[in-house]
Amino acid sequence: MNVAPMMKATKTTLLNFWDSLRSSYWFIPTLLVMLASLLSLVLASLDTTLSGEALPAWIVTSTDAARATLSTIIGAMIAVTGTVFSITIVTLSLTSQQFGPRLLRTFMLDFITQLTLGVFLSTALYCTLIIRIVEQQADGPPHLAVMFGVILMVVSIAMLIVFIHNIAVLIQAPS
């Protein structure tokens, strides 16, 4: 029995599966959401091992402030994600009437689009997971974890700017 053709077929099947998975619209957002989940656990445990005095408290000074900060970030990220992607789909629908349906396919496979969605969803999920930890801790807020949530929000704002520029370039007519 010759094993080489079977291994080659298996390798081809795996490569085809990897290619279809990688070109899926949800691949990058899913990876980023899983990374945010893992990061929330790591930073929360790191926060408990470090003493509260060793970390800067310039963002949050109390548990209520941490909860309010994270709640604001969660609400803002969900609202921004829904609004931006809804408006973008309407814009692309109107533009694709002139340029054809390939524009929507290009949008769906665009790395910046997938990365932006992933960053927005990851920020909201990370803050949601950290807010649960804030409510469970009695010895003060997790400064490091909340500070990273604020950093994620700043990254999300930067991604919003990059995304809007990318969409503006994407819907331009080829010259």
Alpha helices (H) in 50-142, listed in sequence order: 63-99, 102-109, 111-136
Contacts of 173 (CB under 8 A, 6+ apart): 98, 99
Cα 113 from chain centroid (whole Å):
11
Residue 25 or residue 167, greater confidence: 167
Contacts of 42 (CB under 8 A, 6+ apart): none
Tell me the pLDDT tens digit for each residue of 15-44: 877 777 766 788 899 999 999 999 999 998
Question: Whole-number mean pLDDT of the chain?
Answer: 85
The yes-or-no verdict on residue 1 having pLDDT over 60 is no
How much is the pLDDT for 103?
Answer: 75
The yes-or-no verdict on residue 63 having pLDDT over 90 is no
Residue spans of the domains in the chain: they are: 37-47+61-170
Comparing 6-10, 41-45, 98-102, which segment has the lowest mean pLDDT?
6-10
Token reading at 1: 């029995």
Contact between residue 107 and residue 171 where contact means Cβ atoms under 8 Å apart: no
The yes-or-no verdict on residue 52 having pLDDT over 70 is no
Q: How many CB atoms lie within 10 A of CB 105?
A: 11
In angstroms, the CA 158 to CA 38 distance is 23
**The pTM is what?**
0.84
